[in-house]
A and B are shown apart, each in its own frame.
Chain A
């Protein structure tokens, strides 16, 4: 007897997506707004379903719904919904308002939700591919624009390579362990004595494939170009939910079946983390485009989040989950502010366009300041608490090198964040931006309030993350 219930939110969302697609096609006049609203409605319903799911393993152990999946799914839905709201106004103004846009986002969310619930490497791959395929199309969505097409193509080619690596890792794992089930892998890892090298090579490839999606160094090459070229709502989307899902599944794989060989994969994560933190903080200093800067910043953030994964402990996983939560909020908010940078109907993307924003539009400048301080990890803002948790985990496990490099690179990173604030507050004003649309203001305000007041709800969110982390440690 198959337990359909376990995947009810994913199934519902997929059906809702197809219905939206049908309605979109059958309409006489294209109405992307309606489709976006339907997609948002579907997200809301799915969110309620996600919260109500009961822990279960389904489909012969291919799929699992547990507290970790619930936490990740909520975050994915929230991130996707926020960026879908952001796309509402932008797409219309840029002349790329087509109803496929929200539907593609929705299917991407289905892929991500499937991925974080994977209990088998094959499910992982399926979810990952669904997420990626839709994202390629989204990145190239402004097809008239050279930059966007280039971004889509670049992302596709490099990502295909990463998928190949991942698949190769999966096949190696299958070859050496004889199973792809997370539940059966631990026995295989310790059971056969000579198999461990092959399995470790396999897991290294899997990590490489996932690290590509996370844009962690050294698999980050695509990030700045694709972030810059893709339409801004897509960039916002790519920097939120599609970072959460691969991260959560990375945790699930490394801490779950490979949990008792932490010492063997820890060096990989440490190196990737340190390299990402370094690159994220130093390479962003010279950027002039705010989208590229945020691309490097997200590379750095992934490095910090990996600090929490490296110990492979419960407190580390909890730290990562809190970090991802704050990261999604800051990122969505920051990109909302970038979307508000329009002058005479055209999108502005360089940092110098922000000059003197505090004089022309103080609320927007204040919001972006909040996000920048938060990303830099200055208390009392949300980003600080994410950093505290991951560094706490590193300190608890004695990973001092990681912690020290982490805090020092965050000082370097702080420089380019406060430079943006400097441009907005201390420089002579540039001409004012166009009036913001309500949708952009809404996302920026929501993310801003969350970032500012996160310290008040730290307890409940920590408990939720704690419950999610406990799943992997039984």
Chain B
């Protein structure tokens, strides 16, 4: 049973009316107090941020950030005490290592780095908190809603065509693509599009490869028919017939 992400407000229909929703995970001792100072100082800042107060940045599991996106956030702020200022001596040092890994992995998976802001804001830096908030809201506003994440719920399973595309990306099954890939190791490679393009041309030839990559457990997802939406599209035509889509509606 897949539930849609809960939203307190209706999603604006147009980009012009888009107001980013930002979740901020802040530590109790520095940034929360700093944000409080910003408020008592009557500093003007964007009102898009919902603050979640935690004892320390060391308490912030990277899963919090993923969960925030899952539940409808368009951007996330993670903020705590400056290095060497941690109330618990070393919580922010440990957190910094985890955030480093998360930051790199999220980028590798294709989550735009501007969606997550990491910052150190001390209890006296109300003005810096205002800047962090305003800049984050501006960046996320420019990126638009993170519908790519939320739309994953309604997405159909892999289709046969998508399997073929995946197989061709690294020239696994297309002999012609591998020399190009091997000739440019480490360098900026244009093979992403090249390989995909070559793969489209070779799709007929790659059909056995797709069949091998797609285990027999996925017959229903394969071949929704010619003219079916590509992998990027919502693909309701394909999804409507699948049991998963039925389950999500009930």
Q: Do A and B come from one complex?
A: no
Q: Which residues of A contact B (CB under 8 A)?
A: none
